[in-house]
Amino acid sequence: MSISFDFTGRHVVVFGGTTGINLGIACSFAKAGAHVSVASRKQENVDAAVATLTALGAQALGLVADVRDDESVGRAMARAHERFGDIDVLVSGAAGNFLAEVNDLSSNGFKVVVDIDLNGTFHVMRRAYPYLKKPGASIINITAPQSVIPMRYQAHVCAAKAGVDQLTRVLALEWGPAGVRINAISPGAIEGTEGMRRLSPQSQSGQEMVRSSVPLGRMGTTDDIAHLAMFLSTDAASYMTGTVIPCDGGGALESVKPMIEAAGQQLKAQKA
Ligand code: COA
Ligand code: NAP
């Protein structure tokens, strides 16, 4: 199936965009002709992502920044703007995750995930605002099913991503009049990602358990998420803002029991 979008010459900024789902989004925009700025903490990830984007024929800028550090996000946004001009599309997807029961979670363990996922998303959106194309910019926040489905061993992520959903809605209210749209994508189980490596057993039977919990019968791909991010950034979605859209093969409609069982097996294996 060939799906094509045209973002020729547009400036796309992806925070947490150097690996996994977010890198997949950055690559898809690059293939569609965009200039892409990607940011994350680790220089080696940033360098590798820039090499990947450049190999796709895109002009790419790599930025080392920690979303927990408001100042470092501000500096990265200013550099991205200096290089490629006003931001047409902003993706905020940096996240941290691990499995832990609340009784095994220190105050700092809870805080670190809230700091990255929720406070980080606030910093990224707030610091981008002066540089967004107004009217016309599209912001995509990457949330997760845990934002609405309570999951054992994920108290920190459930709390943080629920906050991301609400930030998405509130910013849609406040920035709508300036012509800025903000939507969130909630990916399901996406194959080959760090998130899935941390949350589900890597054995064939473990992966099968995850697959069988999805009505469409397969795990998602980074392309599935990228296609939705691109659609949301086209004029075809020009009346959409403040939405949180699952892209999960229907996974959130099923009982989450299989996913929790998978997570429980993985946590037990980690503790052994
Ligand atoms: N169970 C319980 N607590 C844990 C934990 C686990 N598996 N892993 C980390 N923590 C706690 C630490 O013990 C620490 O708390 P403490 O100071 O009270 O001991 C706290 O979390 C911070 O850990 P630290 O390793 O210092 O944080 P960091 O800033 O270096 O890394 C993480 C942040 C922990 C989220 C790390 O996993 C990360 O960088 N993740 C990014 C990639 C990722 O998670 N991808 C999947 C996205 S879905
Ligand atoms: P991933 O590969 O670990 O991606 C996380 C990215 O964020 C990395 O590029 C990482 O790079 C960066 N990052 C982490 N902490 C950061 C910080 N403090 N500041 C700046 N950048 C930081 O994970 P993934 O599985 O693809 O997940 C991507 C997104 O999808 C996340 O928002 C996650 O919650 C969401 N999601 C994933 C799934 C799934 O199936 N995988 C399902 C639902 C939702 P550095 O290490 O270089 O900083």
Q: Are 258 and 210 in contact (CB under 8 A)?
A: yes
Distance from the CA of 20 to the center of ligand 2, in angstroms?
7
pLDDT at residue 72, as a whole number: 98
Angle between helices 20-31 and 222-232 (to 10 degrees): 60
Task: Name the one residue in this structure whose structure tokens are 């993706």.
Answer: 91
pLDDT at residue 30, as a whole number: 98
Q: Which atom of ligand 2 is nearest to the CA of 219?
A: 40
pLDDT at residue 262, as a whole number: 83
pLDDT at residue 261, as a whole number: 81
pLDDT at residue 121, as a whole number: 98
Best residue among 43, 147, 193, 228 to mutate for probing ligand 2, ranked by most atoms within 8 Å of CB: 193
Residue by residue, what is the 3-state secondary structure of the chain? CCCCCCCCCCEEEEECCCCHHHHHHHHHHHHCCCEEEEEECCHHHHHHHHHHHHHCCCCEEEEECCCCCHHHHHHHHHHHHHHHCCECEEEECCCCCCCCCHHHCCHHHHHHHHHHHHHHHHHHHHHHHHHECCCCCEEEEECCHHHCCCCCCCHHHHHHHHHHHHHHHHHHHHHHHHCCEEEEEEECCECCCHHHHHHCCCCHHHHHHHHHCCCCCCCECHHHHHHHHHHHCCHHHCCCCCCEEEECCCHHHCCCHHHHHHHHHHHHHHHC
Asked whether 4 lines ligand 1 (CB < 6 A), one says no
Q: For the chain, list residues with pLDDT below 50.
A: none
pLDDT at residue 263, as a whole number: 86
State which fold the 11-191+221-253 domain adopts: Rossmann fold (3.40.50)
Distance from the CA of 107 to the center of ligand 1, in angstroms?
12
pLDDT at residue 215, as a whole number: 93
| Tokens read off for 162 | 């629920």
The structure's pTM equals 0.97
pLDDT at residue 272, as a whole number: 85
Distance from the CA of 16 to the center of ligand 1, in angstroms?
16
pLDDT at residue 255, as a whole number: 64
